Amino acid sequence: MVVLGIDPGSITAGYAVIESSGRKFSYIDSGIMKYGHIKNFIDRLGLIYRSCHELVVRYNPDEIAVESLVYVKGTTSIMKLAQARGAMLAAFMEKYQEKVFEYSPNLVKSSVTGYGHLGKDGVQKSLSMIFGERIFKTNDESDALAIALCHGLCKGTDTGLNLKMTSKKRSMKDLARCKRVV
């Protein structure tokens, strides 16, 4: 199964593509998508949509994993992130309805490293242990790889929530079923 992992962003977003076969994972590609060169935020949304559509055309993933919204201090920031994430999801939904899953940042970290509050360096170290030494352009790229891996690890459990499910269906038992690699 080919998984596309997305770390959403309104200025820079990360993507990663892995292949999973049971509990074996292979790195295919990863990178970042930059949107900050377009100053007007509203004008960025079309580029965000197109770049995500191009990813699914290029890699033809079986499923897509996206990080859920995170808490940010400013309301403007969270609104822009939500709109950018919406443009990304719209690009995926045409072909991937019921094949797009979301994961909280803490679940991603916990499934990849065993600790849900580990910093970015620890996540990158775990990813290098699993996929071999990697030099990531940004944290967005490594986060996207962690999100894709989290989906591969959590697939087949109730932890891999597709976007139709509500947060009330999540539990600590779900987290326990999602085994980490390292």
Q: Is residue 182 part of a domain?
A: no
Active-site annotation holds for 143: no
Question: Of residues 63, 102, 140, 143, which has the active-site annotation?
Answer: 140
- Taking CA atoms, 160 is separated from 67, 85, 165, 175, 177, in Å, by 11, 18, 10, 10, 10
140 is catalytic: yes
Which secondary-structure segment (H or E) carries 15? strand 12-21
Mean pLDDT of 91-100: 94
Q: Which amino acid is at 50?
A: R
Instruction: Check if 98 is active-site.
Output: no
CATH number of the domain enclosing 69: 3.30.420.10
Residue 146 lies inside a defined structural domain of this protein: yes
Give the neighbor-by-neighbor strand order of the sheet with 12-21: 24-34, 12-21, 2-7, 63-67, 100-103, 161-162
Q: Which of 63, 67, 102, 141 is catalytic?
A: 67
Residue 53: inside a domain: yes
Nearest CA-CA partner of 30 in 3, 70, 67, 69: 3
Domain extent, residue 47, equals: 2-177
Given pLDDT bands bounded at 50, 70 and 90, which one contains residue 39? Answer: very high
The reported pLDDT for the residue numbered 108 is: 93
Supply the pTM of this predicted model: 0.85
In a domain, 167, yes or no: yes
Task: Confirm whether 50 is domain-assigned.
Answer: yes
| Residue at 22 is within a domain | yes
Confidence check: pLDDT of 162 > 60: no
Contact in structure between 116 and 176 (CB atoms under 8 Å): no
When divided into structural domains, the chain yields a total of: 1
Integer Cα distance of 179 and 182 in angstroms: 9
Average pLDDT, the chain: 85
- Chain CA centroid to CA 48, Å: 15
- Helix, strand, or coil here: 61? coil
Of the pLDDT bands very low, low, confident and very high (cuts 50, 70, 90), residue 156 is: low
Q: Residue 157: its pLDDT value, please?
A: 55
Q: Is residue 44 part of a domain?
A: yes
* pLDDT band with cut points at 50, 70 and 90 for residue 158: low
Segment 48-60 shows an average pLDDT of: 97
Judged against a pLDDT cut of 80, whether residue 122 lies above it is answered with: yes
